[in-house]
Amino acid sequence: MLTEEESAAVSRAIGEKSPEALKTAAQSLVRALIARGELEIVETLPEGRGRRLRLRARDYPLRFSIRLDDPPPRPAPVLDETPQVVELPLEGFAVSDLQASLVRQLLLEQGALVLADRVAGPREVVQRLEPIIRKAVAAESVWFLPIDAPPGEFWRSGRASPAPIPAERIREIARARAMVLYARDFSRLQPPRAGAPHAGSAIYIGVGDDLGGWRGVLEIRDSRPDAFGDERIGLAVLLATHFQTLLASTVRLQSLIFFDFLTGLYNRPYFEDQLEKQLMMARRRGQSLALCIIDIDDFKNFNTRYGYEGGDRVLVTVGCVLKAALRASDTLARYGGEEFAALLAPPVTPEEAMAIAERLRAAVESEPFQVQSLSGEYVPERIAVSVGGALFPDHGQTVREIWTVANRMLLDAKQKGKNRTRFAPESRASGDTGPPDAPPPGPQGDPQSD
């Protein structure tokens, strides 16, 4: 079965009415059919400057023989001891190997960024595009090496072996994105790198989006030295550009869908998705996680006394303080209104969870804060939060159960005077921390229940 490109090539050769053109087209077609497995080689015999092949069709009762000329010998490559730099953009290269099936696959990937119930994540896009590029370029391996990623994103999925190129050089390629680094022969690189392969070649193409806050390098390897010609490099650059566009689109879609515009934190849909995933992972690994719900005490008073701009300033300040007080692996979101939610990633002990929750409360209480009054002067104020917490699996087996317990603890902290941290009493680290008798420090000391 011929592809559209192959049928067109045969028609062009017949139209030229040139024996040499027909010979070239026939030999190219036979090589393609052998590569796809539609023709099987029965016997190979040397003949002149080529080979005589006896062939049979896989799905038809057809046998024939053809002589295939050996490709002309390539000049011996001049191997450098340092990687060759190929300036971009490349001019005048042909991408004859870019078949219609590959184009369709890439277009389908672009359409799959927005799925039926969610937006594909950057790591998912990377994992789907790496094998497409590897197949298209006929490479041994393709890896995306992330150098910088947006805050809270973890794209690294592991790789087969260390890159033979120093890390500083990789970072340079990721930053510049105006060249291709071509390591023609790993065995000639000086100095050799520990753990790097001893044979083969690779190209390194920088990809990234400075506005999106990410950069990285595509490493495309071949087990043979000097394996990448102009056409192969050109095809790789074209695919890397598409890779960069899809990844940038994914990051921007997520920033629009999953982030709260005012505080820059994750929003409720993203948090709920992460909580579900982390709970499933914790259950599978037999680990614990914690949920903290944080509510700003007397927030309505800020809006009443200082207007909505004053209230917005409180929300932004609290978001920044909470984020700085959490671990890098934890997830913080503005859940709604003046309420925040923190997911303490597994594994976390009850004692650690209680300590982190109290750290959140204390960090907000100690944060210096001034707010502009409606008359224009700046007024010193104090912000306080109440925190309710629960742990999996101590206090529930599902997201709903954990959330219900944490929310009950938050209400309990509010009723006992605000500016407090409360964890479910079943926890080994159960406790009630915060000022025992101090009134909640609302605006100008005017306590009001929210």
* Cα–Cα distance, 345 to 351 (Å, whole number): 14
Residues of the chain with CATH 3.30.450.40: 84-257
For residue 420, the one-letter residue type is: R
Q: What is the pLDDT of residue 407?
A: 95
* CATH 3.30.70.270 for the 268-445 domain, yes or no: yes
Q: Which residue has the tokens 């309990």?
A: 412
Q: What is the pLDDT of residue 196?
A: 64
Evaluate whether 254 touches 274 at the Cβ level (below 8 Å): no
Backbone angles phi and psi of 82, in degrees to 5: -125, 150
pLDDT digits (tens, 9 = 90+) for 227-238: 998 888 888 888
Its CATH architecture, for the domain 84-257, is 2-Layer Sandwich (3.30)
Token pair, residue 8, equals: 């067109």
Q: Which two tokens stand for residue 372?
A: 């502009």
Six-digit token pair at 30? 């036979």
**Tokens 């150098």 belong to which residue?**
147
Q: Please count the other Cβ atoms lying within 10 Å of the Cβ belonging to residue 104.
A: 10
3-state secondary structure of 70: coil
pLDDT in tens, the chain (450 residues): 567 667 777 777 777 778 787 787 787 777 777 766 777 777 777 777 677 777 777 766 777 777 777 666 555 445 455 677 776 666 555 455 455 556 566 656 655 555 545 666 777 888 888 888 888 888 998 989 888 876 555 565 555 556 778 888 888 888 888 788 998 888 888 776 666 667 889 999 999 888 777 888 999 999 898 899 888 888 888 889 888 888 888 887 777 778 888 888 889 988 998 899 899 999 999 999 999 999 999 999 898 889 888 899 999 999 999 999 999 889 999 998 999 999 999 999 999 999 999 999 999 999 999 888 888 888 899 999 999 999 999 999 999 999 999 999 999 999 999 999 999 875 444 455 555 444 444 444 343 345
Among 339, 449, 450, smallest CA distance to 388 is for: 339
Give the helix/strand (H/E) hosting 342. strand 339-344
pLDDT at 232: 86
What is the C-alpha to C-alpha distance for residues 258 and 333, in angstroms, rounded to an integer? 10
Question: What is the Cα–Cα distance from 248 to 252, expressed in whole angstroms?
Answer: 6
Residue 100, pLDDT score: 53
pLDDT of residue 430: 47
Which pLDDT score, from 0 to 100, does residue 72 have? 60
Side chain identity at 247, as an amino acid letter? L
Distance separating alpha carbons of residues 220 and 236, to the nearest angstrom:
8
Helix 268-285 × helix 399-415 angle, to 10°: 120
Taking the alpha carbons at both ends of the chain, their separation in whole angstroms is 72
Q: What pLDDT shows up at residue 362?
A: 95
Return the pLDDT at 53: 75
**Domain ranges in the chain with CATH number 3.30.70.270:** 268-445
Query: Residue 238 corresponds to which amino acid?
Result: L
Identify whether the C-beta of residue 427 lies closer than 8 Å to the C-beta of residue 396: no
How many CA atoms within 13 Å lie on the side-chain side of 276? Answer: 7
Sheet arrangement for strand 50-57: 39-47, 50-57, 63-69
